[in-house]
A and B are shown apart, each in its own frame.
Chain A
Amino acid sequence: MLNFYKVFKNNNAYLLLLFYCSIAGLLIKFEQDYSLQNLLSRGIELRAGVSQRLSDIYRYLQLNDENEKLALQNSVLLAEIIEQGSVLRDSASINRTARFIDSSPISFIHARIVERRFNTNENLLIINAGIKQGVEVDMAVMTPEGLVGRVIQVSNNYAKVMPVIHAEFSVSVVSDSNSTQGILSWNGKQEQLAQMDYVPLSSSIGVNEKIHTADFSTFAIRGIPVGQVLNVEPDQKFYRVDVRLGADFSSLNRVLVVKKTTDPEKKSLMENTADEDQIPEEVQN
């Protein structure tokens, strides 16, 4: 014991470093462990809580601008209502729309973004809706303009969202007019541009086509708008398709969490199939 004490006293700075690094190593190893996740979600709760207070103060100071923006939005919505009315009167459009109406109703949870990080260390959003409001992991997050991301962690009152503009994000998408399918991901270059991969050269996808989420996504319901095709270039086996994202990440404020997730049975089956066939993970999304 005395010898141990002497060794410790002589090399204590190195031993201390070793001790702390071992703890850090264990924390890295068990970061996905339930109790550590619980602690981290409390951290998120705390961080988001403070952020919310700060943003409340900021919002209070910005109320005038907000009102002006809302008035502008109202006028845009009114214009859209008039436009939609004329579309609905068109019987062909009614038939086309009817194909997309699901048998079960979709409901949304309204949430506000209380924390937003876009830097080299972190790339995430925190919204002020969590377990208590009915948010679950793997729910899709969107704005009326387009898909925003996917819930990856929830605490009681907050949820962490992996945005579309994240290196690890991918989602199955389909084009509006000719149902060309592909996988949407982001290459990290421009905030407004994502890429649609695995689009075969035989498809007839064109510029300005609207892109929606496909039916076989593991988290998003079908039909969520994603963006619009900006550029199509043939590559070796597939087209290289640039998609302008509908959601504007630079001015995100309020979002909708889609309460309906994909059927767990379908998700489990798709994941099992992917494991067996060793399909790349991104293709499952």
Chain B
Amino acid sequence: MVKNIVTNSVLLLILCILQQYAFSRLVIFGAMPDIVTIFVAFTALRYGQKQGTTFGFAAGIVTGILSGNIGIETLSKTIEGFIAGYFHIPEDSHASALQKKQMFYKGVFLASLTGRILSTLTLNVLSLPTAWHIAYSIGLATLLTMILAILSYQLFLKKILAK
């Protein structure tokens, strides 16, 4: 348990840094994928809602300190973890690989969507017209996060969730 917490915390820190320096450069029409959301959703799916919420909170604090928007980041990431927790897959679950995959995608999708809606409601630094702002900040960002989630699942997470 303690080992898991330490491993996940270190991983979370690495991903927050990666998000700030690598994924934030993959900007398409002002939107970018969010690897931290995927990790928070994955933690919630694997370890439960409480752990997901806590990891979301921690992720929000770290990304908030790095980005300068500590309040909004903390709030949105905490809620992302909580939402993804509804798709928790217990370790002794008999769900098939397909069901686990669906749960993962649903969790990431809803978490990302909720997080982006919260950020969008508070920030519009490019002063985009409302329709474009929603399309870029919610729609496109969620789509990019989902693409990254599919890649992450196929490359790494599939094996972990299959255990």
Contacts and interface: CB of A to CB of B under 8 A. Distances in A.
Interface of A: 12-13, 16-17, 20-21, 23-25, 27-29, 31, 36, 39-40, 42-44, 46-47, 50-51, 54, 117-123, 153, 160, 166-168, 186-188
Q: By DSSP majority rule, is chain A's interface helix, strand, loop, or mixed?
A: helix
B8 interface: no
- In which size bucket is the chain B interface? 35 or more
A23 B31 CA distance: 27
With most chain B CB atoms within 10 A of its CB, the pick from A153, A186, A188 is A188
Nearest to A41: B68
B7 interface: no
A237 to B, nearest CB: 22
A24 B50 contact: no
A119 B31 contact: yes
B50 A16 contact: yes
Majority secondary structure of chain B interface residues (helix, strand, loop or mixed): helix
Contacts of B126: 118-120, 123, 167, 188
A20 B74 contact: yes
A28 B125 contact: no
B124 interface: yes
Interface string B62-76: 001111111110110
A117 B30 CA distance: 10
B30 A120 contact: yes
Contacts of B125: 120-123, 166-168
A118 B128 CA distance: 12
B71 A25 contact: yes
A27 B74 contact: yes
Given A16-B54, A119-B30, A119-B32, A50 B17 contact: yes
Given A27-B70, A36-B70, 18 more contacts: A17-B79, A17-B82, A20-B56, A23-B57, A24-B71, A27-B64, A28-B71, A40-B68, A47-B67, A118-B27, A119-B27, A119-B32, A120-B31, A120-B124, A120-B126, A120-B137, A167-B124, A188-B128
Contacts of B64: 27, 43
Given A17-B78, A21-B75, A31 B124 contact: no
Interface in B118-136: 119-120, 123-129, 133, 136
